[in-house]
C-alpha cells in the first residue's frame, strides 16, 4: 500500500511524536512526582521514591498542611494580595493606557518613554529603601505592603495603550458627540472591547503576585500574615517536615496557578507575545 | 479652542495621576534613597552616616600582598598562582557571589536558549497535538519557583532522591547483565547533587533552565509564526532542504528574537534568589551564593543596609553592562530589515 516515501514519512511522524512526548514528560514529571509523593506517607516515599502510588491515597498530608501548618490561612492571604494587585493594576493601566493612547497633553511622549524605561530597573535596586518606606508608612507586616506598591505597572500600561491605539477612533467619537465624558467613554466603549487585553493582564499579574517571594520574605514577619511562598519556605525550614507534607503544600500552591494558566492559555500567550513580560 | 486644549491636557494628567503618583512614591523616591544609602553606613535604626565610596571600595577593593607573591614564586609556583595570591580582595565573599552569579547566568543561557529554539521549531508544525505539548513545556514557567524548588530538592536528594535512585537502578542492572560477568562492575556514584560544591551550582542551573525553557519557547514560537509563509514556499520551490531553510532563512529572521531572549534571560538570571534560598541556603561552602542572596544576607539579616544598597547598584551596573555589551555585539549578528 505505502510507497517507500510514505513509509519513511510515517516513521518520521512517529519519531517526532515519541520525542515530543518524552520531552513533555520530562517537563511535567516533577509535578507528577510532587502529587504522587503528597499522597504517600514517609516510609512509602523512602521505600521507593519512583513509585506513583503507596498502599492507598493518603489525603491526611493535606489535612496536616491546611491544619497544623496553617496553609489555608496563607492561601487566603495570598488570594487577597493577588486579587488586590490585579484589580489595582488593571485600573491604573486602563486609565494610564487611555491617557497615553487618546488624550493629547504636553510631555506625553516623554512621560511615556520615561515610564516604559522603568521596566529596566530591577526590583533589587529599590528593595532596601522600599522596606524603609514601609516602616515610615507603618505597613511592615501588613498585607497592603504587598499590594499598594505593586499596583502601578509600566508594562501593563504599555499593554493597554497598544491595545487602545488599535481601536478605531470612530467608535468613541459617536459617544463623544452624545456628550459622554472620558471616563464614561473608557468604561462604556473601551472596557467592553478590552476583554482579551484585560484577561492577558489578569493572568500575568495574578501569577506574578501569587508566586512572589523575596518581597513578602522581607516585608511580612508574623505567621498570621504569611503568603503561600513564605509558608512553603517555612515548612521546608522546619526539620520535622516530611517530604509528603512539604509536597502537599507545594501542590496546593502550584495547582491553582496551573489551572489559571490552562483556563486562560490563549490570553496568556498573547500577552507574552505583545509585551514579552512573563508571569 | 485653547480652552479645549487646556481642558484636554488637564484630563490627560488626571487619568495619569495614579501612575504618576505610584511612580514617584514607589520608584523615583526609592531609587534616589537607594543611591544615597549606598554612600552611607546605615543599619535602619539610627540615621545613615555618610561614608562616601567606602561601601563600593569594600565590595570591589583589593589590597596587595607582595609577601604572598614572593612566597609562591619562591616555591616555584606559576606567575598566575602568584598573582592570585598577591591580590587580596577586601570582601572575598562578594567575589565568590559574583562568580557564582555569572556562571549561573551563562549556565541558564547555555541550557535553555538552544533547546527552547529547537522545541519551538518542532512545535511550529501543523500537526495535531502541538498545543498540548506547548502547554506541558510551559507549566514550569507558571508554577511557583519556591514550590518547584521544593520538588527538585527531593529529586536531587543524595540518599533515595529521584535521580540517584534512577542512576542506581541503571548501574545495578548494567552490573548484573554485563559488567559483573566480565569483571568490571561499576560502583554506584551516589552524587551529592545539592551537597557537594562542584555539583550544587550545576543542579540549580538545571532546575532554573527547566523553569525557563517554556517561556523562551513561547516567545520563539510567536516570532516563528510571524515569518511569512511565502518565504518558506519560495525556498521550497528553489529546492532548499529542511536544514538550509532553518539556517539560511529562519535563524537570520529570528535573530532579533534570539537577542531579546538573551537579554531578558540574562537580566532575570543575574537576580536569582529563590532557588538557592530554598534548596541550598547558598551552600555548600558558598558555592551557590548569588549576589542578590548575598545582598539579602547583608541587608536584611545583618542590617548592613548601606552595604546592601551598594551591592544592589553593583547588580544594576552589571545588568546594564551586560545588556549594553549584548546590544553592541548584536550589530554584528542581528538581522534587521
pLDDT digits (tens, 9 = 90+) for A138-176: 999 999 999 999 999 999 999 899 888 888 888 788 877
pLDDT at A271: 64
Q: Are residues A43 and A73 in the same domain?
A: no
Domains identified in chain A, total number: 2
**What's the mean pLDDT in B42-71?**
90
Whether the per-residue pLDDT at B222 is higher than 50: the answer is yes
pLDDT > 70: percent of chain B: 99
Q: Are residues A53 and A79 in the same domain?
A: no
Whether the per-residue pLDDT at B1 is higher than 70: the answer is no
Answer whether A95 sits within 8 Å of B19, measured CB to CB. Answer: yes
**Taking the alpha carbons of B209, B210, B215, B220 in that order, is the dihedral positive or negative?**
positive
Report the C-alpha gap between B266 and B318 in whole angstroms.
Answer: 10
**A1 confidence band (pLDDT: 50, 70, 90):** very low
Q: Are residues A166 and A257 in the same domain?
A: yes
The residue assigned the cell 523512602 is: A46
Which of A39, A36, A45 minimizes the C-alpha distance to A58?
A: A39
Answer whether B218 sits within 8 Å of A27, measured CB to CB. Answer: no
Answer whether B13 sits within 8 Å of A211, measured CB to CB. Answer: no
How many contacts, defined by CB atoms under 8 Å, are there between A and B?
250
Q: Does B116 touch chain A if contact means CB atoms closer than 8 Å?
A: no
pLDDT at B242: 77
Strands (E), chain B: 40-41, 49-50, 62-64, 87-89
The secondary structure of B27-76 as a DSSP string is IIHHHHHHHHHTTEE--SSSPPEE-TTHHHHHHH-EEE-HHHHHHHHHTT
Q: Single out the residue in A41, A60, A79 at which a domain terminates.
A: A60
Report the C-alpha gap between A97 and A154 in whole angstroms.
Answer: 9
Q: Are residues A56 and A149 in the same domain?
A: no
Q: Single out the residue in A15, A34, A60 at which a domain terminates.
A: A60
pLDDT at B185: 81
Whether the per-residue pLDDT at B323 is higher than 60: the answer is yes
Answer whether A254 sits within 8 Å of B147, measured CB to CB. Answer: yes
Interface test with A, best of B2, B15, B38, B323 (most A CBs within 10 A): B15
What ipTM was estimated for this complex? 0.89
Answer whether A247 sits within 8 Å of B151, measured CB to CB. Answer: yes
Whether the per-residue pLDDT at A96 is higher than 70: the answer is yes
Q: Are residues A192 and A158 in the same domain?
A: yes
Q: Are residues A30 and A118 in the same domain?
A: no
**What's the mean pLDDT in A195-213?**
90
**What's the mean pLDDT in A248-275?**
82
Q: Single out the residue in A60, A83, A108 at which a domain terminates.
A: A60
**What's the mean pLDDT in B150-176?**
92
Interface test with A, best of B8, B10, B129, B143 (most A CBs within 10 A): B143
Among A74-78, A98-102, B56-60, B184-188, the range scoring the smallest mean pLDDT is B184-188
Report the C-alpha gap between A226 and B46 in whole angstroms.
Answer: 28
pLDDT at A2: 41
User: Comparing A238 with A192, which gets the higher pLDDT?
Assistant: A192
CATH of the domain at A97: 1.10.3720.10
Whether the per-residue pLDDT at B336 is higher than 70: the answer is no
10 Å CB burial of residue B2 (0-12, 13-18, 19+) is exposed
Whether the per-residue pLDDT at A3 is higher than 70: the answer is no
Among B146-155, B173-182, B199-208, the range scoring the smallest mean pLDDT is B173-182
Q: Are residues A25 and A142 in the same domain?
A: no
Q: Are residues A92 and A51 in the same domain?
A: no
Q: Are residues A133 and A217 in the same domain?
A: yes
State the smallest CA–CA distance between residue B45 and chain A in angstroms.
10
pLDDT > 90: percent of chain A: 55
For residue B27, give the nearest of A19, A31, A126 by CB distance. A126
Q: Are residues A50 and A175 in the same domain?
A: no
Answer whether A121 sits within 8 Å of B152, measured CB to CB. Answer: no
Q: Which helix (H) or strand (E) holds B279?
A: helix B274-279
**B253 confidence band (pLDDT: 50, 70, 90):** confident
**A279 confidence band (pLDDT: 50, 70, 90):** very low
Q: Are residues A134 and A271 in the same domain?
A: yes
Q: Are residues A184 and A233 in the same domain?
A: yes
What domains can be seen in chain B, in order of their start residue? 92-146+195-337 (1.10.3720.10), 157-191 (no CATH)
Among A161-170, A241-250, B27-36, B130-139, the range scoring the smallest mean pLDDT is A161-170
**What's the mean pLDDT in B174-185?**
83
Give me the domain span that covers residue A151.
Answer: 69-275
Among A1-15, A85-99, B302-316, B322-336, the range scoring the smallest mean pLDDT is A1-15
Whether the per-residue pLDDT at A27 is higher than 60: the answer is yes
Whether the per-residue pLDDT at A240 is higher than 60: the answer is no
**A278 confidence band (pLDDT: 50, 70, 90):** very low
pLDDT in tens, B76-128: 878 888 888 888 899 999 999 999 999 999 999 999 999 999 999 999 888 88
Amino acid at each position: 500500500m505505502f510507497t517507500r516515501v510514505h513509509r519513511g514519512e510515517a516513521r518520521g511522524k512517529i519519531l517526532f511524536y515519541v520525542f515530543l512526548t518524552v520531552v513533555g514528560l520530562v517537563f511535567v514529571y516533577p509535578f507528577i512526582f510532587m502529587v504522587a509523593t503528597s499522597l504517600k506517607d514517609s516510609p512509602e516515599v523512602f521505600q521507593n521514591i519512583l513509585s506513583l502510588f503507596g498502599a492507598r491515597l493518603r489525603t491526611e498530608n493535606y489535612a496536616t498542611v491546611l491544619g497544623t501548618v496553617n496553609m489555608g490561612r496563607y492561601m487566603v492571604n495570598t488570594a487577597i494580595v493577588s486579587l488586590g494587585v490585579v484589580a489595582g493594576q488593571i485600573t491604573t493601566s486602563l486609565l494610564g493606557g487611555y491617557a497615553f493612547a487618546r488624550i493629547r497633553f504636553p510631555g506625553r511622549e516623554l512621560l511615556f518613554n520615561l515610564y516604559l524605561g522603568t521596566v529596566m530597573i530591577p526590583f533589587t535596586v529599590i528593595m532596601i529603601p522600599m522596606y524603609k518606606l514601609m516602616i515610615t508608612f507603618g505597613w511592615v507586616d501588613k498585607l497592603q505592603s504587598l499590594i499598594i506598591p505593586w499596583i502601578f505597572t509600566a508594562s501593563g500600561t504599555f499593554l493597554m495603550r497598544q491595545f487602545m491605539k488599535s481601536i478605531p477612533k470612530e467608535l468613541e467619537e459617536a459617544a463623544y458627540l452624545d456628550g459622554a465624558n472620558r471616563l464614561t467613554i473608557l468604561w462604556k466603549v473601551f472596557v467592553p472591547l478590552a476583554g482579551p487585553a484585560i484577561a492577558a493582564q489578569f493572568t500575568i499579574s495574578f501569577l506574578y503576585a501569587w508566586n512572589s517571594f523575596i518581597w513578602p520574605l522581607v516585608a511580612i514577619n508574623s505567621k498570621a500574615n504569611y503568603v503561600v511562598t513564605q509558608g512553603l519556605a517555612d515548612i521546608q525550614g522546619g526539620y520535622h517536615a516530611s517530604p509528603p507534607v512539604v509536597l502537599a503544600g507545594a501542590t496546593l500552591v502550584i495547582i491553582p496557578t496551573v489551572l489559571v494558566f490552562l483556563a486562560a492559555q490563549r490570553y496568556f500567550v498573547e500577552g507574552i507575545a505583545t509585551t514579552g513580560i512573563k508571569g | 479652542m485653547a480652552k479645549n486644549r487646556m481642558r484636554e491636557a488637564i484630563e490627560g494628567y488626571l487619568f495619569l495621576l495614579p501612575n504618576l503618583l505610584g511612580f514617584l512614591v514607589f520608584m523615583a523616591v526609592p531609587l534616589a534613597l537607594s543611591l544615597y544609602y549606598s554612600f552611607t553606613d546605615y543599619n535602619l535604626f539610627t540615621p545613615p552616616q555618610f561614608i562616601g565610596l567606602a561601601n563600593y571600595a569594600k565590595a570591589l577593593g583589593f589590597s596587595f600582598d607582595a609577601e604572598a607573591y614572593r612566597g609562591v614564586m619562591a616555591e616555584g609556583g606559576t606567575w598566575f598562582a602568584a598573582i592570585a595570591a598577591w591580590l587580596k580582595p577586601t570582601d572575598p565573599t562578594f567575589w565568590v557571589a559574583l562568580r557564582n552569579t555569572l556562571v549561573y547566568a551563562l549556565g541558564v543561557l547555555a541550557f535553555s536558549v538552544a533547546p527552547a529554539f529547537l522545541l519551538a521549531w518542532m512545535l511550529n508544525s501543523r500537526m495535531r497535538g502541538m498545543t498540548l505539548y506547548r502547554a506541558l513545556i510551559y507549566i514550569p514557567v507558571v508554577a511557583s519557583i519556591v514550590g518547584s524548588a521544593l520538588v527538585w530538592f527531593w529529586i536531587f536528594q543524595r540518599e533515595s532522591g529521584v535521580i540517584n535512585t534512577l542512576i542506581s537502578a541503571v548501574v545495578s542492572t548494567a552490573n548484573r547483565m554485563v559488567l559483573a560477568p566480565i569483571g568490571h562492575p561499576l560502583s554506584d556514584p551516589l552524587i551529592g547533587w545539592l551537597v557537594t560544591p562542584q555539583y550544587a551550582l550545576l543542579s540549580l542551573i538545571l532546575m532554573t533552565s527547566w523553569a525557563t525553557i517554556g517561556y523562551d519557547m513561547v516567545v520563539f514560537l510567536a516570532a516563528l509564526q510571524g515569518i511569512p509563509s511565502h518565504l518558506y514556499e519560495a525556498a521550497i520551490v528553489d529546492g532548499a532542504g529542511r536544514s538550509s531553510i532553518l539556517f539560511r532563512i529562519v535563524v537570520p529572521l529570528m535573530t532579533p528574537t534570539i537577542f531579546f531572549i538573551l537579554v531578558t534571560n540574562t537580566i532575570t538570571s543575574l537576580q536569582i534568589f529563590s532557588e538557592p534560598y530554598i534548596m541550598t541556603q547558598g551552600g555548600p561552602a558558598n558555592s551557590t551564593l548569588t549576589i542578590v542572596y548575598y545582598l539579602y544576607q547583608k541587608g536584611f539579616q545583618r542590617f548592613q543596609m548601606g552595604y546592601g544598597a551598594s551591592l544592589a547598584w553593583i547588580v544594576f551596573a552589571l545588568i546594564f553592562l551586560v545588556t549594553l555589551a549584548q546590544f553592541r555585539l548584536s550589530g554584528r549578528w542581528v538581522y534587521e530589515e
